[in-house]
Amino acid sequence: MTTLSSPNSSTVSPSRGTISPAAFGTYESPMPGDSHSGHSEPAISDNDETELHFVSWNQDYSCFAAGTSRGFRVYNCDPFKETFRRDLKSGGFGIVEMLFRCNILALVGAKANTQYPPNKVIIWDDHQSRCIGEFSFRSEVRAVKLRRDCIVVVLEHKIYVYNFMDLKLLHQIETVANPRGLSCLSHQLNTSVLACPGLRRGQIRVEHFGLNMTKLIKAHDSQIACLTLTIDGLLLATASTRGTLIRLFNTIDGTQLQEVRRGVDRADICSIALSPNVQWLVVSSDKGTIHVYSLRVRVVGEDASADAAVRTPTLLCQNSSASLDALISPSTGANPGSSLSFMKGVLPKYFSSEWSFAQFHLPECTQYIAAFGSQNTIITAGTDGSFHRCSFDPVNGGEMVQQEYVRFLKTESRPR
């Protein structure tokens, strides 16, 4: 194994010289002959008090990964099923990141993992059931994000971007203290965008790598709690640690396009997701309510179909606030506002807020990550080992209807 020195005072150890594109297979079904795949005779049963450390979606929300005290598992969302699991003798994983549906994953060990400590990132080839590369750092890894062409490793004060093929360092970015490991990536091949906290409280740094451009956005007065990008990286949604407002920004010029209100009391925002057609936004928090908002961003080729192909916001030519009117258009449904909103120039900002269009209520004190399924559905994965699917009315909104509930892991544990 060749060990390379890196300017970040970390160690990069490729098990092979490069990661060949041929190594990227696709999981559409459990691998034949693998006793750890699907539901066929798992080596360790759920009755052995497996703890859940971590859950995360893949890039198109078709799957999610779970890091457990014994290894990791991957679940398909529609239809819901366990696709495969790996129970390793060395211990569990605190971070598991998928790359769409391929066999390459990024793993970070939990604190009790005897082989892979929490300051090391493992690039795992699940077809070969072995590590094909690793990164070691002096401090704990807070998050890992994947694109087909790069690996992003987030530490508390620094972010490193590596080339996926040869694991060479491409960029390093200083951030404000970032214990949540906040960062997000675009996923279209023709746009390479990274968003992360800046060096000041409430600031977002957006790196347009393809344009060789950096944009700093003053998003909130409080610290950033959650952020996400559209798949092309042209829209950014953010929330702060106050958890009352969610804001939508143009990442090219930093202009705020829309602001919606979750509530008036402080909340911990667990996740934000934008629908592929950029028509809806979903937010989850520790209050147990899933909120869906109607977006007013005009998109190219916009039509009445909610399931149209992915469409791109018309942002590239917008360079001033005077041109933003072309970006705003009524959506299928409209977010409700206060009956006193006509007095927004006189009354506090609260009375002119846009509130959620549709809602779904889940138990409090559990973290749920929410995303968009097909045909106006919301899917959630919770740290209590639960999966929910609910539908919302795209015209009238209101309370969503539960369509599916699965307990995918029987656990009382909570992730860090």
Give residue-wise pLDDT tens across range 334-380.
Answer: 665 544 444 454 444 544 578 889 999 998 778 899 999 988 999 99
What are phi and psi for residue 293, nearest 5 degrees? -120, 145
The confidence score (pLDDT) of residue 332 equals 52
Give residue-wise pLDDT tens across range 74-102.
Answer: 999 999 999 989 888 878 999 999 999 98
What's the mean per-residue pLDDT of the chain? 79
pLDDT class of 13 with cuts at 50, 70, 90: low
Least confident residue range of 64-73, 164-173, 292-301: 292-301
Report whether 98 contacts 146 (CB < 8 A): yes
pTM of the model: 0.79
- C-alpha 303/C-alpha 50 separation (Å) is 47
Q: Is the pLDDT of residue 134 over 50?
A: yes
Phi-psi region of 41 (alpha: psi -120 to 50; beta: other; left: phi over 0): left
The confidence score (pLDDT) of residue 107 equals 95
- Counts for the chain of helices (H) and strands (E), in that order: 0, 31
Among candidate residues 353, 366, 372, 302, the one with its CA nearest the CA of residue 331: 302
User: Could you tell me the strand order of the sheet in which 63-68 lies?
Assistant: 52-57, 63-68, 71-77, 80-87
Least confident residue range of 88-102, 260-274, 304-318, 335-349: 304-318
Q: Is the pLDDT of residue 315 over 50?
A: no
What are phi and psi for residue 257, nearest 5 degrees? -100, -30
- C-alpha 333/C-alpha 246 separation (Å) is 18
Q: For residue 352, count other CB atoms closer than 10 A to its CB.
A: 17
pLDDT class of 326 with cuts at 50, 70, 90: very low
pLDDT class of 33 with cuts at 50, 70, 90: very low
Q: For residue 215, count other CB atoms closer than 10 A to its CB.
A: 20
- C-alpha 180/C-alpha 113 separation (Å) is 21
- C-alpha 4/C-alpha 24 separation (Å) is 24
- C-alpha 260/C-alpha 105 separation (Å) is 35
In this structure, the strands spanning 120-125 and 158-163 are unpaired
